[in-house]
Amino acid sequence: MEETDSAEEFHDALEELPPREPNSVLLDSIEDTRHAMNLFFNNQFEEAVAFMEPGANDSMYRALGFATTAFIQALMTCNDHDVEKAMNATKHASDVCDKYRKPNNLAGRLATFGSSTIEDDHFTDEQLHAELCYAEALLQRALLTFVQDENLISFLKGAIRIRSCYQSYKKCQQYLFAHSWQDEAVRSHFESGVKLGDGTFSLLISALPSRVLKLLEFAGFNGNREYGLRQLKSAALMHYTLRWPLSALVLLVWNLNFVYVLGTGESDLRLSEKLILDMLSIYPESSLVLFFSGRYAEISGDFAKAIQLFQGSIDQQSEWRQFHHLCFWELIFCHSYLRNWRKAREYAENLYAENKWSRSTYAYMTACCLISEIELLKESNDDAAVDEAFENVLQLMRQVPLLKVKLSGKSLPVEKFCVAKSNQFFAQNNSLFIPLYELLYFWNCYTCIGRNKSSVLSILEDIELQYQRRKFVCAKGMSTDDHCLYLLLKAMCLKHLQSPFQAEQLLLEIVNKKQDLKVNTYLAPNAYLELALLRLDSRKRDLAKNFVQKAKEFKGYLLESRVHFRLHSLEQRIEAL
């Protein structure tokens, strides 16, 4: 789709009701979409789009396939233009699919008046697939809403708007078994689609914090995490159907990304490995699959292999430069785990220069990498290099608040954090204490670091060194904010060195000093969260619940919504004991 394309351009094509497709034509359109998906997973992104676009005005599967390629691109890049393009494409797909759905007007209802069972509604195979594709397009729009804004209230509004999507999936679930299918292949494609959508919906709703979940349940939504995972696993095993790669993709995103960023890291690595191997057997050079292979290696603690795989993903394609940025993001962290600050900084600079998602965040990350790099330059007595690097830090920190953007009238939570830390930097005489290690905590990276003992030991040693240096240069003594940050990050390292008691003592010291925190007020609720996780690890359910409740009492701190996601995930684990 060209940059000027929008949903309005398809209006004329939707004026007339498209001709009804018999099953043979329906299967042909499904196979066409499968061909486009194969092109997509084999890095032929533009070819996939070009193949789908000609029929996107009158074929529901071509319209959905076209939208799905745009949707995946938007999820992978988080680029505003890509997200907007995907929003238009999914809106158009839902309009096309709606034309094929069973009429739901007054005449339609009167025609089926007196029906007592769903079997009496006389859906055709094509109408049921239209219902499924319609729901899938709406679900993609809902997910894009969350990509646009991490704010919970914005997501809640988006969820309410897709009530018809939820109802469509429930209808499809009923008819999967009640309908008299004319073709088994048509039924199988429908079944995998129902499981993909129903599973994704259940998983998504189940992940929301309790306070939001209650509102959604009141509105008629419900989500069960285990049910959602079972549905997706089942769909991912249906290798002869159109949607199995998408089901595998959702599971990989969940297990390798979502549960680490907004959960407590309870991923199914064995399943992830199997899915990656399945996909590599069919798409051995897929940049998308290689990315998840790299993410799997990163989570497993094999950072050198992860770097190699992310670079391999980059090398496999050049059509979507924005997709390289996703690899750059992970490479920042992988090199940070290895304390290779120069390489981490170079990838952060690339994002700052090229990616428009959050230049404020990238500026702050680059500055943090430079601060760590400066400490090494000082050891080499390269004063000129130190001065140049520090001047760059000053320039970047000044840019952080200026580059902050607003989506739907609200600032990104991560940008609010970066701006607050930039302000703290200038308030503390142009200095911050171990800011990159602090960032690693907020992206839940210590779970990955914890699977590589040498990295844990190296980072702990560096944290101790920087702490001693900080104490030495602070004539009036170290601030409570800096001291408690040191305690939290040291506790994370000790936890993964199998020293839970020592970690707990450090965390308790933080909560005892919570009244003295001025800027880093987020440390206290996060300390309670980590105490709850330690108690959960020792299977002390009641104590874990008590710490969760204490964490919930805090309001108005940085990245609060992220903590609430993690607390909700933790509560589900506690209840499962």
Give the CA distances from residue 67 to residues 60, 72, 252, 560, 563, in Å, rounded to whole numbers and listed in that order: 10, 9, 21, 33, 33
Q: Which residues pair with 411 in a beta bridge?
A: 406
pLDDT of residue 511: 97
Instruction: Provide the token pair at 64.
Output: 């959905």
Whether the model clears a pTM of 0.85, i.e. scores above it, the answer is yes
Question: Residue 475: its pLDDT value, please?
Answer: 67
Long-range contacts of 306-310 (CB under 8 A, 24+ apart): 306/330, 306/334, 307/331, 307/334, 307/335, 310/334
**Lookup: tokens for 481:** 């904010």
Query: How far is Cα of residue 336 from the mean position of the Cα atoms in its chain?
Result: 21
pLDDT at 151: 54
Question: What is the torsional sign of CA 558, 83, 143, 318?
Answer: negative
- SS3 sequence, 240-277? CCCCHHHHHHHHHHHHHHHHHHCCCCCCCHHHHHHHHH
Q: How far apart are CA 57 and CA 99, in angstroms?
A: 11
Report how far residue 349's alpha carbon sits from residue 570's, in angstroms, rounded to the nearest whole number.
35
Please report, for the chain, the start and end positions of each structural domain, with discontinuous segments joined by +: 7-106+121-220, 338-432, 449-577
Q: What was the pLDDT predicted at 550? A: 98
Which residues, listed in sequence order, are joined to residue 410 by a DSSP beta bridge?
Answer: 407
Low-confidence ranges of the chain (pLDDT < 50): 1-15, 17, 20, 105-117, 119-120
Q: Which of 339, 260, 340 is nearest to 292 (CA)?
A: 260
pLDDT of the residue at 576: 85
Q: What is the pLDDT of residue 406?
A: 72
Under a CB-based contact definition with an 8 Å cutoff, are residues 364 and 393 in contact? no
State the fold for domain 449-577: 1.25.40
pLDDT confidence of residue 70: 92
pLDDT of residue 320: 87
Alpha-carbon gap, residue 141 to 200, rounded angstroms: 13
Alpha-carbon Rg for the chain, nearest whole angstrom, is 25
Q: What is the pLDDT of residue 341?
A: 97
CA distance 455 to 328: 20
Query: How much is the pLDDT for 219?
Result: 61
Q: Collapse the DSSP code of 332 into the 3-class scheme (helix H, G, I; strand E, B; otherwise coil) and give the result.
A: helix
Which pLDDT does position 120 carry in this prediction? 44
Measured N-to-C along each axis, helices 321-337 and 60-77 cross at an angle, to the nearest 10 degrees, of 40
Token pair 């008691």 is found at: 501
The owner of tokens 């494609």 is: 189
| Residue whose C-alpha is closest to residue 194's, from 212, 209, 206, 179 | 179
